[in-house]
Amino acid sequence: MLVSQGAVAYTRHLWHLLPQVGIGAGMVFGGDLAIMPRPAVGQIAGDGSLGSLINGSATGRCLAATCTITGGSLNAAGSTLLHSFGQFSLEDAGQSALFVDPGVNDIVVRVTGGLASLLNGEIQASAGSRANLFFVNPSGIRFGPTAQLSLGGAFIASTAHQIAFGHGVMLLSGSATPLGGELLTISAPVGLGFLASETSASITVQGTGHLLAFGAPDLPSAFVNRIFQQGPPPGAGPPGGLLPLSDLAVRPGAAIALVANGIDLAGGNLSAVGGQIELGSVSAGTVLFNPDLSLDYGDVDAFADISLSDRATLEVSDRTPGRVLLGGRDIFGDG
């Protein structure tokens, strides 16, 4: 059942699989918390292919609390910055990766070493950045319960084999191949390619799930759905709006997209206040980006499943709610 309520300052807008609870522009799912495995090894290490520097080193491994990412390969227009790493994981909550933005529109990150990325720390862009961040690892991406985003633009995570740019340029995501003259002509990413002949991996988002409460101090008689997590009680949010449900959040009005061969939110919470959240589960074909970074599935040959459990949430709450978009074969909700 879906119940629609008016948008007020303390209202959370959600889609749900919980009977008698929920209002319109997100999703909530129930169940028990699942524990995901850690990768065997991991931190951040360069592969030497696109000029990326980690704390000043092209090939060394960063084991520091903060790994500062500079260098990379810039297109001729100065609008797109490419980075490439052999490994990229932030295993602990206190670790962070800081991408220094030279003033581009898009930062594109690929991981080539064959290990999944465990992201349990913070991914940041430098102060003042408004760049979208594309993070692509065909070997898998796992967001832990303390993963955070501190970005100025959208965040797109994918396990695609190829990153498509304008003018027919395709960048392999799992191979440390350099770019030649085509670097001069690339534009913003226009799509993500999944090869039927190669295995691609899934994306998992682990978290503690939502808590539910009802009512607000200034609206004692109203039916108000307040969703929060290990934090402020109902009504403790800012006067003009709501605190994001999760640290895995983009700035208000921006987009989050996960595109993989299988997507599993096991208690995971994604927040895009007044923005857009899209989950695209694809096993073969090409997903194209629309101008608003929503996904076009017209060139997809085969879809995969989406699973949401353990009280997972997709939140786009605001006075003017955003939207949640799901594209896949079968969508499973535990609850």
Domains recognised in the chain with CATH numbers? 40-202+243-305 (2.160.20.10)
11 pLDDT above the threshold of 50? no
261 versus 220: which is more confidently predicted? 261
**pTM of the model as a whole:** 0.81
In the chain, pLDDT over 70 holds for what percent of residues?
76
pLDDT for 198-218, tens place per residue?
988 999 999 888 764 444 555
194 pLDDT above the threshold of 80? yes
Q: What is the 3-state secondary structure (H, E, C) of 257-292?
A: EEEECCEEEEECEEECCCCEEEEEEEEEEEEEECCC
Identity at 93, one-letter amino acid code: A
Q: Please give the angle made by the CA atoms of 299, 300 and 305, to the nearest 5 degrees.
A: 160
- The region of weakest confidence among 118-127, 141-150, 318-327 is 318-327
- The region of weakest confidence among 41-50, 102-111, 136-145, 258-267 is 41-50
Residue 92's φ and ψ, nearest 5 degrees, are -120, 155
Where are the alpha helices (H) located in 178-334, listed in sequence order? none
- How would residue 333 be classed by pLDDT, with cut points 50, 70 and 90? confident
Tell me whether residue 266 is exposed, middle or buried, using C-beta atoms within 10 angstroms of its C-beta: 0 to 12, 13 to 18, 19 or more: buried
Nearest to residue 97, comparing CAs of 63, 145, 132, 60?
63
What mean pLDDT comes out for the span 132-151?
Answer: 96
Q: Is residue 54 within 8 Å of residue 46, measured between CB atoms?
A: yes
pLDDT for 227-245, tens place per residue?
434 333 434 444 444 445 4
pLDDT for 88-99, tens place per residue?
999 998 899 999
CA dihedral sign, ordered 298, 299, 305, 310: negative
Q: Which residue has the tokens 């595109």?
A: 259
Q: Name the average pLDDT for the chain.
A: 80
The reported pLDDT for the residue numbered 183 is 76
64 pLDDT above the threshold of 90? no
Nearest to residue 265, comparing CAs of 253, 256, 273?
256
